[in-house]
Structure 1
Amino acid sequence: MDMVRTKDPAVRSLLIARAAHMLRVREPVTLRSLVDGTGVSTMAVYTYFGSMDGLWRAVRQEGFRRLATRLETVGKTRDPVRDLAALGASYISHALAEPDLYRVMFDAGFELEDPEQADQTLHHLVETVERAQSGGRLHAEADPLTLATQSWAIGHGLASLVTGGPLPHDALANGVPMLTALYVSNGDDPVRCRRSVARGWRDMAA
């Protein structure tokens, strides 16, 4: 009980990770099944999250928190198109590394604790699109949010199909031609664009 009373962050993280895993493997999630074998009581769920719904909100939030942390590691270079591809590859890397949390991130049945943190992950792409426009790589009249959303959709589609099982890992290579086609259609030079996208994709994959 002391562990619960002092709100040990490790307990909170343990319950979040266990809940996400149980969803992924389709185990029934109840108060008792959640804490079974963890060494904490069912009261821990109420102590840390208030309710089971609070737990699921925290699980979703944790996914976006980790994604935001990963995207922040993508350094800015003189080539914003390379950086856009690197952000996409980093997004997919997060999905592959955190498949349990990734699945729950997009379950709209549970609200987020901090929606702004989720919005911030998209802002990384918006900001990079704006840099590409300022540098003359992409059409200035294009809407940055629309382009960022289209880039996100490509990464999300590939990540979902690979982590979900229908497509093999090798299918991720399709990200290079798909992103290249998107950015070329919005003004970038075909040869230069493919080179930039391939470099960003490769750098983050490595």
Structure 2
Amino acid sequence: MKKVGEPAPKTRLLRAAAALLAESNGEPVSTRQITEAARVSAPTLYHHFGDKEGLFDAVVAEGFSEYLDGERSLPTSGQPIEDLRMHWDNHVQFGLDHPHLYLVMFGNIRPERRPSMVASAEAFLEEVLARAAEAARLVVSPHEAARSMLAANIGVTLMLIAEPAAKRNLELSAMTREAVISAVATDSEADPVTDTEGTPSVVVAAIALNAALQSSHPDQLSSSELKLFLEWLQRISSRSGS
């Protein structure tokens, strides 16, 4: 019988599954464990999710939807590098606020198998970084920058989750954030086209033009001309060619 103020059975199943998955250390989680933790019967699980795997899929999808909604709701400051800092901090805070959910989303890594949530989070971050590229603030492509930033962001968040709350040092996050930003972006106070940190100005300019063309789809060029031009810009933007 449902207690007054108690979440609905579907919500209890989602929460129980997320907690059990996070605490499983890679071991299988049974239907019985989930239903006992959620205080529901197996038919209730089947009614809402079809089977156990359907429940697990729903846990990950709901967690990522909540995370992405939070990311998309952040205001744009008009300063691309500040926006990157804001998204980084929001990512860390989401993990600390929802540790079990975060571990299900980003912590269940298997060799040679990339979680779909990681790819989706990376795609969103690449959108944010494209704005920095258009402002001539990136020294690598948005794709390369997104992979670097997300890898570091996830690593820091997992490390902070593993620490006792009373001993967490959030300066670790800030230090790592600034180190990654300095590796992929130009100093916001410097002239982006005359970069002083060792990246040729032509590379920074090519990255900016590449991002601008992909977002604006200019009609002055045919599709084949645009494709060829973007290929040239990609070659110039590549670090290996700098």
Do they fold alike, i.e. is TM over 0.5?
yes
Structure 1 contact 60–104 (Cα < 8 Å) conserved: yes
In the TM superposition, residue 40 of structure 1 has moved relative to its aligned partner by 3.0
Question: Does residue 1:30 correspond to 2:46, yes or no?
Answer: no
Find the aligned partners of 1:28 and 1:135 in 2 and give their Cα distance. 48
Residue 121 (structure 2) aligns with: 121
Residue 62 (structure 2) aligns with: 62
- Highest relative contact order (Cα 8 Å, sep 6+), 1 or 2? 1
In the TM superposition, residue 138 of structure 1 has moved relative to its aligned partner by 2.0
Gaps of 5+ in 2: 111-115, 191-242
Structure 1 contact 67–121 (Cα < 8 Å) conserved: no
Residue 135 (structure 2) aligns with: 135
In the TM superposition, residue 156 of structure 1 has moved relative to its aligned partner by 0.5
Aligned partner (choices 163, 166, 169) of residue 165 of structure 1:
163
In the TM superposition, residue 132 of structure 1 has moved relative to its aligned partner by 1.2
Gaps of 5+ in 1: 4-8, 110-114, 193-206
Residue 199 (structure 1) aligns with: none
**Amino acid of the residue matched to residue 156 of structure 1?**
I
Find the aligned partners of 1:151 and 1:181 in 2 and give their Cα distance. 10
Superposition pairs of residues 10-89 of structure 1, within 5 angstroms: 10-26=8-24, 29-36=29-36, 38-89=38-89
Find the aligned partners of 2:161 and 2:30 in 1 and give their Cα distance. 25
**Amino acid of the residue matched to residue 99 of structure 1?**
P
Aligned partner (choices 171, 179, 182) of residue 180 of structure 2:
182
Structure 1 contact 35–42 (Cα < 8 Å) conserved: yes
Residue 203 (structure 1) aligns with: none
- Seen in structure 2, the aligned counterparts of structure 1 residues 187 and 35 have a Cα distance that, compared at 3 Å, is closer
Residue 195 (structure 1) aligns with: none
**Amino acid of the residue matched to residue 168 of structure 2?**
H
Sequence identity, in percent? 26
Structure 1 contact 64–118 (Cα < 8 Å) conserved: no
Structure 1 contact 184–190 (Cα < 8 Å) conserved: no
Partner deviation per Cα, 1:42-100 (whole Å, 9 max, x = no partner): 10111111111111111122221111111122211111111111111111111111111
**Amino acid of the residue matched to residue 145 of structure 1?**
H
Structure 2 contact 84–128 (Cα < 8 Å) conserved: yes
- Seen in structure 2, the aligned counterparts of structure 1 residues 176 and 40 have a Cα distance that, compared at 3 Å, is closer
- Seen in structure 2, the aligned counterparts of structure 1 residues 50 and 82 have a Cα distance that, compared at 3 Å, is same
Find the aligned partners of 2:183 and 2:29 in 1 and give their Cα distance. 46
Find the aligned partners of 1:189 and 1:156 in 2 and give their Cα distance. 24
Residue 202 (structure 1) aligns with: none
Structure 1 contact 138–183 (Cα < 8 Å) conserved: no
Residue 91 (structure 1) aligns with: 91
Structure 1 contact 68–120 (Cα < 8 Å) conserved: no
For the pair shown, the structure with the greater C-alpha radius of gyration is 2
- Seen in structure 2, the aligned counterparts of structure 1 residues 144 and 34 have a Cα distance that, compared at 3 Å, is same
What TM-score, normalized to structure 1? Answer: 0.73
In the TM superposition, residue 177 of structure 1 has moved relative to its aligned partner by 2.9
Find the aligned partners of 1:183 and 1:28 in 2 and give their Cα distance. 38
Find the aligned partners of 1:60 and 1:73 in 2 and give their Cα distance. 20
| Equivalent residues, number | 177
Find the aligned partners of 2:144 and 2:46 in 1 and give their Cα distance. 40
Partner deviation per Cα, 1:178-201 (whole Å, 9 max, x = no partner): 232333333412767xxxxxxxxx
In the TM superposition, residue 173 of structure 1 has moved relative to its aligned partner by 1.6
RMSD: 3.0
